[in-house]
Amino acid sequence: MQNLKSEPLRELYPAIEPFNSGSLKVDDIHTLYFEEVGNKNGKPVVFLHGGPGGGISSDDRRYFDSNAYHVILFDQRGSGKSTPSASLERNTTWDLVDDIEKLRNHLNIDKWVVFGGSWGSTLALSYAIKHAERVKALVLRGIFTVRESELKWFYQEGASHIFPDIWHDYYHAIPEAERHDMMRAYHKRLTGTNQEDLHRCAKAWSKWECATSKLYVDPAHVAKAENDDWAVAFARIECHYFVNKGFFERDGWLLDNVDKIRHIPGVIVQGRYDLVCPAKTAWELSAKWPEAELKMIPDAGHSAREKSIASALLDATDKFRTL
């Protein structure tokens, strides 16, 4: 394990526009938005965004050397520019895994590097376990395996001890009689017919995550939660996945299946003070996958936008340019 100390930090690669973007109809309900960036003849890498429900942004293109990589980014079901927005129908982990394969085939890619952070790490691990023969390397950040202990930590009890002031609004959006199961109570409102409750709870849920995702609270990031469309898609889809425990057949399924990917080169980047996805999970993944390089970042929380985490991610993607 590398416990990285202070050293010169790298800046993200320059802003870049896609050389192609399009839509892929993956079933009779869902159509995915995707982008291609960088060198069309370069090493393929697919970017898996967080949430679920978060969607991609222009800065997500900048973790990769555009001269070396053919970067594919897409909005997962119900997220970003994919349609229908915020839809929960046929929206499970395994639907998303199938979508990744459909996109790979659509773009005539044989194998690719898979990059994912937070929920993206969950999806990357799920995809790699099911389709190891298609994965050249894994770059993971802020490890999340959707175990009950992880969900209870962030949405029910643990993280409130660190951010009690921010927790207050999230907690008090739910009537006292239902606070023994916050995720279930939010799910009731995020999937209900009362539009006022839907928007109020979507913003409270999203604000809680946005406010706690960096070591230092970033008001600009928290402000995203005020966007009704983004907050509804983000909160509805996250809550849907989490009350269903990620649609895994048992608690701990991902860690139990790590043996299937140990031959794949990997880098794990983890913020020491990540409250959303605490470092314990990354440590447990590393113990089961000792061949992977674990980079524990001592001055960061959860977000890929934090400078020391971004710098480590750049080093990781550069490492696999010539794989």
Contact 15, 69 (CB under 8 A): no
Residue 305 predicted with pLDDT over 80 = yes
Contact 77, 27 (CB under 8 A): no
Q: Give the pTM.
A: 0.96
Residues labelled as active-site residues:
118, 274, 302
Which domains does the chain show, CATH number per domain?
Answer: 2-147+248-319 (3.40.50.1820), 148-246 (no CATH)
Cα–Cα dist 273/174, whole Å:
27
pLDDT tens-digit series, residues 160-186? 999 999 999 999 999 999 999 999 999
Beta bridge partners of residue 271, listed in sequence order: 297
Tell me the residue ranges of DSSP E strands in 176-265: none
Cis amide prior to 84 (ω within 30 degrees) = yes
Residue 323: band (very low, low, confident or very high) from pLDDT cuts 50, 70, 90: confident
Beta bridge partners of residue 22, listed in sequence order: 34
Mean pLDDT of the chain: 96
